[in-house]
């Protein structure tokens, strides 16, 4: 399951994720009719089955959230006017070694740029940097 942060759960982004075979939802569906603070997101994710949370709020999540074996957090360095690029960057991430399956992604907090993937993981506090698949 891909869980989109509320600021990116737009129809254009959802339509661009048609290639993903699993479920794609907004974080708001995990706790409807409430305001969801960034601090609550890891708890909500831990109650789902293998979610990959996708956000452009790099400052709120990258190097701030402890990795957890039940979920993955993907931070994308994209300003709002480039959100149309999100589906293709996510697809490239899912083609990158170590991120191809849900099992490989779980337990990681990831930062994706146009060319690289940086991540730290459960049991691996140091940051690893690898090239993003083409």
* pLDDT digits 0-9 by tens, 21-35: 999 999 999 999 888
Interval 73-99 mean pLDDT: 95
- pLDDT tens across 28-77, in order? 999 998 889 999 999 999 999 999 999 999 999 999 999 999 999 999 99
101 Cβ partners below 8 Å, 6+ apart? Answer: none
Count other Cβ atoms within 10 Å, centred on residue 95.
Answer: 12
Place of tokens 């993907």: 74
């Amino acid at each position: 399951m891909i869980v989109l942060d509320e600021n990116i759960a737009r129809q254009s982004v959802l339509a661009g994720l048609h290639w993903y075979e699993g479920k794609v939802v907004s974080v708001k569906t995990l706790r409807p009719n409430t305001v969801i603070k960034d601090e609550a997101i890891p708890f909500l994710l831990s109650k789902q089955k293998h979610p990959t949370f996708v956000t452009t709020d790099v400052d709120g999540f990258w190097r701030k959230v402890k990795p957890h074996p039940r979920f993955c957090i993907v931070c994308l360095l994209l300003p709002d006017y480039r959100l149309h690029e999100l589906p293709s960057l996510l697809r490239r991430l899912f083609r990158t070694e170590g991120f191809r399956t849900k099992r490989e992604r779980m337990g990681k907090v990831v930062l994706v740029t146009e060319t690289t993937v940086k991540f730290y993981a459960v049991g691996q506090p140091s940051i690893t940097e690898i090239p993003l698949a083409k």
